[in-house]
Structure 1
Amino acid sequence: MSPRPPRPLDPQGPPLPTRRIAEQQWRDACFVHWRTDPALVAPLLPRGVRPDVHDGSAWVGLVPFRMVGAGPPGRGGVPWLGSFLELNVRTYSVDGQGRRGVVFRTLEAERAAVVLGARTLLAVPYRWARMRLDREQDEAGRTVLDHRSRRRAGPTRPGSRVRVAVGERLARPGPLEVFLTARFGLHTRAWGRSLWVPNTHAPWPLHRGELLALEDDLLRATGFGDLADRPPDSVLCSPGVRTAFGLPLGLDDPR
């Protein structure tokens, strides 16, 4: 069967999953993105998915944020364990049914138990890191978010610092901004099969961002070479959204 074309992107998101497995909030997010060759991305994706492209390019993101109130549906979040800092390296994917998603190359997080649980249950590449977020104000009165991360284990212990000034609100995000943020599922590989895990959230309230500092070796450590050596092609910020995840589906399962 020929793969279906990617489904249209809708920043409103799909309806709430009928069978939710988790709810959480993502706050103080920075989206720092580079365009790259889809041929660089393709070998890094789970079996059965291909790079999702915009304007002929694949896109790679460095995305730090605060996780708040993560936990089972309707429980209000797990105390302490459900709120932590996270930073992910991600790219974008589409499967044979046209479902668009995110593929995470790493998710650095400061809660060891979360790292262990996510790696065990869904084989999502969480890694334990020492992390910090400083919120400041510059001379122009703009909010400045300074996200820092350093992996706690491993031979190289890669890390990242992303310092961004939050600019004006985007009244109407353009096609690129929608492509980079209207993502309502993730592709991963677990239990010997590739999976799509659906989620939904309201449209991200997006702001322009100005990158003030970047010190990063996570992109290189996750297979993206020297991308961090050149300026990013898009920098966005958001105060955040609330989201819900549904049960994982196989790539052949309809939805």
Structure 2
Amino acid sequence: MDGPRLLEMRWRDGLFAHWPVDPATIAPTLPEQLDVATYDGQAWLGVVPFVMEDIRPRGSPVGLTFPELNLRTYVEHDGAKGVYFYNLDADDRIGVRVARSLFRLPYYRAEMQVRRGAWPGDPESGPEEAITFTSRRDHRGVPPARFDATYRPAGDAFEPDPGSLEAFLVENYRFYTQGNRLYRGDIDHDPWTLRPAEAEIRSNTLFAASSFDQPAGDPRLHYAEPLDVTAGRIRAVE
């Protein structure tokens, strides 16, 4: 990570849902400084719901906890791979306001609920085995978006092998976003621990809200174990 670590937080209850898409679908949506990153010729769009827990300036005794939902793709800039965010919906008015005004991130206010329960229709499911995540964007002046899904881990935990598709999709330590200029930020954390996942996605209009057609086929699903994360400051890309 370039520069000091300014924020610390914990990410939990996360789902990575990824769809392969034609790189030609992604390229026109990116700032000119960024190139589409591909794996075996495929670009990817990801929908990621999770909870940002106890996010705070390093050393502060007070933190915020709120759900977040983002739509992302993967890009390259000067040989460095990273995440490009189309949106970051969050259920925190203060956090959204700060992120938009100070960091120029495409954060949008949304009403969200995250609750644990048994897997629907599975009498052997534990009482907190599944996560139901619902989101309704209510930010003025931007397209509405909804997401409603229940998901759970469905296999053994593993760390992605270097060079694997899983590593391509989740092991990203730089992000980019477009404001009045192109900006980048860096994060730092241990490697992800993933588990195969299953999900019932009842509603997902994030693609339409960002002017994408719904990708064909079922998504590739991974449940993310909790992870401690630190983040640096946002920098303009020259």
Instruction: State the TM-score, normalizing by the size of structure 2.
Output: 0.89
Q: Is the 8 A contact 1:17 1:245 kept in 2?
A: no
Q: Is the 8 A contact 2:176 2:184 kept in 1?
A: yes
CA distance change for structure 1 residues 209 and 186 in 2, over 3 Å: closer, same or farther? same
Q: CA RMSD, aligned part only?
A: 1.9
Partner residue in 2 for 1:13: none
Sequence identity percentage: 30
Query: What's the CA shift string for 1:124-172, capped at 9, x where partnerless?
Result: 1111111011211233436211110001144753211121121112334
1:141 aligns with 2:125: yes
Task: Tell me the SS of whatever aligns to 1:210.
Answer: strand
Partner residue in 1 for 2:150: 163
Give 1:116 shift.
1.2
Partner residue in 1 for 2:60: 75
Partner residue in 2 for 1:105: 86
Alignment of 1:243-254 (within 5 A): 243-252=229-238
Distance (whole Å) between structure 1 residues aligned to residue 12 and residue 114 of structure 2: 11
Partner residue in 1 for 2:72: 90
What is the total number of aligned residue pairs between the two structures?
230
Q: Is the 8 A contact 1:26 1:66 kept in 2?
A: yes
Q: Which runs of 5+ in 1 are unaligned?
A: 1-15
Partner residue in 2 for 1:41: 26
Distance (whole Å) between structure 1 residues aligned to residue 148 and residue 76 of structure 2: 29
Distance (whole Å) between structure 2 residues aligned to residue 101 and residue 127 of structure 1: 21
Query: What's the CA shift string for 1:51-87, capped at 9, x where partnerless?
Result: 1111211110110001111111122442xxx100111
Distance (whole Å) between structure 1 residues aligned to residue 114 and residue 25 of structure 2: 31
Instruction: State the TM-score, normalizing by the size of structure 1.
Output: 0.83
Distance (whole Å) between structure 2 residues aligned to residue 62 and residue 48 of structure 1: 23
1:195 aligns with 2:183: yes
1:183 aligns with 2:165: no
Query: What's the CA shift string for 1:178-207, capped at 9, x where partnerless?
Result: 1111010111234x4322211111111101
Q: Is the 8 A contact 1:135 1:146 kept in 2?
A: yes
CA distance change for structure 1 residues 214 and 56 in 2, over 3 Å: closer, same or farther? farther
* Further displaced range: 45-54 or 69-78: 69-78
Distance (whole Å) between structure 2 residues aligned to residue 36 and residue 77 of structure 1: 41
Alignment of 1:9-48 (within 5 A): 18-48=3-33
